[in-house]
Amino acid sequence: MRLGEPDAPRTACVLGPVMARWDRGAFFEPVAGALVTTGHRVTVYDTLSLLRDGDDLAALADRWAGVLRTEEPDVLVGNALGGAVVQHLLDRSWTHRADVVLLSSPTVADGVLDATLERIAAAVAERGTADALDLLHEVVRGPVDPAPVPAPAGPPDAPDSARDVADDPLCGRRLATGLRLLHRADLRSRVEAFPGRLLHVYGTESNLVGERHLATGPGHSGVGIPGAGMRPHADQPEATRRAVAAFLAPQQKKRIHDQ
């Protein structure tokens, strides 16, 4: 998905979270304005679109490096798995000119996070994709989100129906494989040594990725969004948008000054 003016002076690349089916970038729409209004042309990518059999996080990140480097991004944004991929790239010199925004993106996976993600991934084979998605929703939902309820199966020809997701083997593979890519992730050394500007945004009431899973280096910052879970951009979109816009504001002022 592309947003903003094609001739906007700055480029932003966004890597999405694990999704059983790609939502064409809709997940990012609540906060996209923070980038568009600060003069960015934005491209939102499906992080799992480059996944190949046998990949680990490093292999997937290497593949994305070839794509993102050609974009010469001024801003790199990652959500969840997408943010882990971005953090994996921070030892590359071409990323050092970019501002980095990470939405609920773990730097390090502890035993609790590993166990939770594996429980959901294993449920794909043991209980089916629909039940695994219910488990995922249970841990990522915000504090005011309703608990998941069994969804009625839609007609077989409805492309986005619960039946369609549950019956599509690709959806299950995407979900299970994507979640397992974060197993034992530890990107602290890359993040702590990153010389550029970096912002972590996370929900203070997240049941999955929280402050303990994040690392920062000199000049980096983190913003906890009250009343938000794993998806602060969905639970508290305005607060999240403001946090991202405030982080980008100094670079916007610099751009205007340099014109």
Angle of helix 237-258 relative to helix 29-36, nearest 10 degrees?
20
- Do 32 and 8 fall into the same domain? yes
pLDDT, position 75: 97
Does 235 score more than 90 pLDDT?
A: yes
Q: Which of 88, 161, 169 is nearest to 128 (CA)?
A: 169
pLDDT band (50, 70, 90) for residue 89: very high
Q: Are residues 103 and 144 in the same domain?
A: no
Cα gap 56→183, rounded to integer Å: 9
101 and 120 in a common domain: no
pLDDT digits 0-9 by tens, 4-36: 888 899 999 999 999 999 999 999 999 999 999
> Which token pair is 153?
């199966």
We report the CATH number of the domain holding residue 12 as 3.40.50.1820
Write out the residue range of the structural domain in which residue 232 sits. 2-108+186-258
Number of domains in the chain: 2
Same domain, 121 and 237: no
Strand arrangement of the beta sheet that strand 198-203 belongs to? 2-3, 40-45, 10-15, 75-79, 99-103, 198-203, 221-225
Domain match, 63 and 120 both: no
Q: Which of 135, 158, 180 is the last residue of a domain?
A: 180
